[in-house]
Amino acid sequence: MSEQVAEQVAQPELPTLETPAEVAQGGSGNDFLSLVPEELRDHPSLSPIKDVPNLARSYINAQRLIGTDKLPLPANPTDEDLDNIFGRLGRPEQPDGYAIQADGNILTEDDTTRFKEAAHALRLTPDQATGILNYYLSEASNSAEGMQVAMKEQAEQTEASLRQEWGQAYDTKLQAAQSAIKEFDGDGVLGMDLADGTKVGNHPAFVKVFAAIADFKKTVTSEDSIAEPAMANVMTRQQAQAEVDAIMRSPEYTDRKNVVARERAIARVSELMSMIHD
């Protein structure tokens, strides 16, 4: 055998390899469309399918959709389209289809009617409407409880402030202020909010104003409708201190020779000091 023949025997012909792109597209030698009837080969639905496994998967997925309730999703839906879509998702046909009731506390009958109408206009499902409402009621309840706590704290702070200022005269002054408020029909303003959020009726300055009105009317008139509680012999700390200062400057207090008058003055000062430091 010649060397040329031996070389030809030693170098067999190599097979043609498919590229990764050809493999992904079904292979250069695996065109499944050749197995499909010619009249179906150009159908657009077959263009994305590159091989028999993909064809099988597409068929299985199509079978899964057969018999299911399909929901149309238009590209530019009209109000009628949206009503149909959300109706299929569970939105009631009418606002009264929501099972929402007044609670007699936060939610009134009018509130429920307006909420149902708003929920229906927004195309909410019953579960969505109930979830939103429950969140609102929870927040409103927490807010109401917080307001009650704040109002109680304001009232306690006002009482402490006025007791500190008025001392033993606190109850009498407070009753006089309350009588003045009622006489001047001021009950309606008690619940009004001031700029700092304090209720008018819980602000010490407001109570002091009406107490002063009662005292003033008692001074300039003989009417007892306001000032009757204030007629008791009770003083504020400031009034008691003013009388103490006057007594201690008087001859009765400074004249040691007039024993009876001085003892009486000292006793009065002692009485007044108990009012001041009560």
Give residue-wise pLDDT tens across range 108-124: 899 999 999 999 999 99
Give residue-wise pLDDT tens across range 126-180.
999 999 999 988 888 887 777 778 778 888 888 888 888 888 888 888 888 877 7
Helices (H), the chain: 3-10, 20-24, 52-65, 79-89, 109-121, 126-166, 170-183, 204-220, 237-249, 251-254, 259-276
Q: Which two tokens stand for residue 124?
A: 């909410």
Mark 214-228 as b/e (b = at least 16 C-beta within 10 Å): bbebbeeeeeeebbe
For residue 122, what pLDDT is reported?
94
pTM: 0.42
Task: Assign 190 a pLDDT band (cuts: 50, 70, 90).
Answer: low
Give residue-wise pLDDT tens across range 13-27.
544 444 434 444 444
Task: Give CA–CA dist 96/34, Å, rounded.
Answer: 61
For residue 220, what pLDDT is reported?
60
Q: Which of 228, 205, 232 is nearest to 218 (CA)?
A: 228
Domain ranges of the chain: 30-66, 94-144, 151-231, 237-276
